[in-house]
Amino acid sequence: MLVIATLGAERRRRLRRTTRTAPSQPAPTPVAVGRATLIDARPLKGDPAAWLKSVDLEAEALTGLAVINSVLQRQRIVAADAAAHGIAPGQALVIRVGSGGGEQVASGRWTSAVEVTIGGGRRRREAILSPQERLAAVLSGRDVILACEELTLRARADVDAGRWREAAFQLDCALRAAIAELASWSGQGDIDQRIELLSGAAEKASAAAQTALIGGLSAEQTASLAPSLELLEAALRARAAIAR
């Protein structure tokens, strides 16, 4: 069971007027905070404190987040809201894993719980430094954003969420776009070899996309998506390194 609650600031009312005078030194505007509680209906066996010490807390947190994101993805579609998106672990203010009674946890309380931090600080910092450098290059005109990069991110989101039919469609488009766009860097670094690898991956992705049009993918096709996506991501990183 998933329970959604809004905490903090009251919901802002819509004003009849579209504009109003703003103060010269406005106070910070309070913001509402959403709380999503995922409750496992199966009773917990044994001592809750002992369970917390023995369970893989990060795996539990990621599993719960995946379920919440699957609901958000469905809400995005039924609401036809293209701006809606899922929640990355780093975007959550806090993630907790714990246990308690049904009504208790539904109201955001528990008998015993721990706060879970996903990923290490050093790894997060290393992941941030390179994008900052590239953003500076893009903003200064020394580098460009390729269309296939956006398609690749969409494919990654689908693969990580296990949306295999959608992933097949996205990866097919992303690979074809990448092969065409990376041709501009032919002869630089190992781009030619990477394009050749992508061409092989594109054949598999195309076949998977054709299958996805009429139904589910085979186990072999599903298993091929993640490795093909990793090849594409590696090629894009190599291309970005050339532009620095």
Q: Which of 62, 97, 115 is the last residue of a domain?
A: 115
Kindly write down the DSSP assignment for every residue of the chain, as one continuous string: -EEEEEEESPPPPPPSSS--PPPSSPPPPP-EEEEEEE---SPPPS-HHHHHHHS-HHHHHHHHHHHHHHHHHHHHHHTT-TT-----GGG-S--EEEE--HHHHHTT--SEEEE---S-HHHHHHHHHHHHHHHHHHHHTSS---HHHHHHHHHHHHHHHT-HHHHHHHHHHHHHHHHHHHGGGTTSTTHHHHHHHHHHHHHHHHHHHHHHHHSPPPHHHHHHHHHHHHHHHHHHHHHHHHH-
100 domain-assigned:
yes
As for how many domains the chain has, the answer is 2
Instruction: Give the model's pLDDT for residue 125.
Output: 44
Instruction: Give the model's pLDDT for residue 16.
Output: 61
Residues 130 and 238 in one domain: yes
Q: Which of 62-66, 115-119, 146-150, 152-156 has the lowest mean pLDDT?
A: 115-119
Residues 111 and 167 in one domain: no
Instruction: Give the model's pLDDT for residue 126.
Output: 46
Residues 54 and 145 in one domain: no
Q: Which of 69, 99, 115 is the last residue of a domain?
A: 115
Residues 48 and 80 in one domain: yes
Mean pLDDT for the chain? 87
16 domain-assigned:
no
Confidence of residue 172 (pLDDT cuts 50, 70, 90): very high
Mean pLDDT across the stretch 219-226?
A: 95
Q: Which of 115, 138, 155 is the last residue of a domain?
A: 115
Residues 34 and 96 in one domain: yes
Q: Which of 41-45, 73-77, 130-134 has the lowest mean pLDDT?
A: 41-45
pTM: predicted TM-score of the whole model, two decimal places:
0.77
144 domain-assigned:
yes
User: Which domain, by its residues, includes 100?
Assistant: 2-10+30-115
24 domain-assigned:
no
